[in-house]
Structure 1
Amino acid sequence: MSDRNDGGVLVRIERRRRWSDEEKLAILKETTEPGAIISSVARRHGIGTGQLYTWRRHLLHGAMAGFVPVELATSSPPPKAGEAGRIEIRAGGGLTVSVGGVVDRGALTLVLDVVRGLDH
């Protein structure tokens, strides 16, 4: 008998890792730093580069919960103490949703879900 390997295959089972939106965003931010190398960031976190590109695509399409592009407008003076503010949400195709004063959270969530559905 020889000491050669019998040709068997070693199989390693890995548990699927769950990343929170905050963790994903932090990792994606690392990839945008000057001089960052995507493969190095991925290796440091134990993930593949394809996963980073998938997260980036989801972020850009607004598909990940908690990721919504925001643009701050400074054209109007800030509200005085006790005054209600105003929010404008602009979507593709010139659609604008304006929210002023106190708003019902459930109603706003429903409106934003509909607006997100229009982008797809």
Structure 2
Amino acid sequence: MTGAPAGERRRWSDEFKAQAVVAALGPGVNVSALARRLGISPPQLFGWRKAFLKKQNADAPVGTSAPMLEIVVGEVMIRVGPDVSEAALRRILRAVRSA
């Protein structure tokens, strides 16, 4: 992986950016150390990584569901999403247990 020559404003190829981001997303990678090794500023690499992840999330299918929590009470299964408040969950559990 080679970067752009130093100058007033350096321009990085899309291929270089993609390779740098893929390397930065690896498990246990120190992004700042990687950026220094590549000859770019750490905030630049963090920015590229953030933009990549944002684009990945925007490209996700619209029908993608949020993670659900499943709670089994007796023979009843309750599925709730991350937006359910603790108070609402308590009311639901109380109603299921009293039924």
TM-score (norm 1): 0.39
More helix by share: 2
TM-score (norm 2): 0.46
